[in-house]
Amino acid sequence: MPPKNKFTKEEITETALKLVRTNGISALTARKLGEKLGMSSRPVFTAFKNMEELHAETVKAARALYNGYVEKGLAEKPAFKGAGMQYLRFAKEEPRLFELLFMTAGKGVFVLNEVLPVIDDNSGRILNSITEQYGLCREDAYRIYQSLWIFTHGIACLHVTGVSILSDSEAGEMLTDVFTGLLIKLRNGGIKNDRNN
């Protein structure tokens, strides 16, 4: 009969999340986790099959935390801007978790039109916030969403890497400017792939 673990799976995952929040994903080792819990690394493997399973649970816990930010953003008016501002807030307040979720390779390389649903479980709801409020078809709404996400992700990466940190009002104004410009362009003939122009 395997020994009874002093910590539950959930407690170990919570501690792993704290470790990653402070030191990044590279700090998540069985030894460091054991130290943080005040035990050897062996009980970690009583609760989890291997480090890959613990890593997956830690990512799931980070994703749940991020989803709370999105939920708060989608409750704001306008919802799409609220989601973007919360994306930036998550990057500022949880830079190591943002890095884990949005700046770490691992799910493969996707064509640009496939990225958002793969990296963000909330993408459908965020897309709906555009179609519902602005009366756009899904294709046009997705083009705006995709362009704004690339722009917002760039600002978030500046925050995470410490290159530059914009205030909420500066970032909000920039997001509004880009969104307004894209919406005007869309309504005056559409957003097309202008790479050859």
Question: Hey, where are the domains in the chain?
Answer: 9-48, 77-187
Across 82-109, average pLDDT: 90
- Helix 168-187 to helix 79-93 angle (10° resolution) is 140
| Site of tokens 């309504």 | 187
Q: Specify the pLDDT at position 55.
A: 93
As a residue count, the chain comes to: 197
140 pLDDT band (50/70/90 cuts)? Answer: very high
Residue 155 CB: number of other CB atoms within 10 A? 21
Q: What does the alpha-carbon distance between residue 104 and residue 158 come to, in Å, rounded to a whole number?
A: 15
Q: Give pLDDT, residue 38.
A: 85
pLDDT of residue 190: 66
Give the confidence band of 44 by pLDDT, cuts at 50, 70, 90: confident
The pLDDT value recorded for residue 191 is 63
CA dihedral of residues 143, 144, 145, 147 (deg, nearest 10) = 80
Angle between helices 51-74 and 123-134 (to 10 degrees): 10
In degrees rounded to 5, what are phi and psi of residue 33? -65, -40
Minimal CA–CA distance to 156: which of 137, 136, 182, 175? 175
Percentage, residues of the chain above pLDDT 90: 67
Q: Do the beta carbons of residue 43 and residue 5 sit within 8 Å?
A: yes
Burial annotation 47-85 (CB, 10 A radius, 16+ → b, else e): bbeebeebbebbbebbeeebeebbeebbeeeebbbbbbb
Average pLDDT over residues 10-17: 93
Out of 1.10.10, 2.60.98, 3.30.2220, 2.40.50, the CATH code matching 9-48 is 1.10.10
Mean pLDDT over all residues of the chain? 89
| Dist CA 44 CA 12 (whole Å) | 7
Q: Is the pLDDT of residue 197 over 50?
A: no
* pTM higher than the cut 0.85: yes
Decide if pLDDT at 150 tops 70: yes
Residue 194 has pLDDT above 80, yes or no: no
Residue 110: its pLDDT value, please?
Answer: 66
Query: Taking 90 as the threshold, does the pLDDT of residue 37 lie above it?
Result: no
Q: Stretch 143-148: mean pLDDT, rounded?
A: 95
Q: Is the peptide bond before 78 cis (omega within 30 degrees of 0)?
A: yes
- R_g of the chain computed on alpha carbons: 20
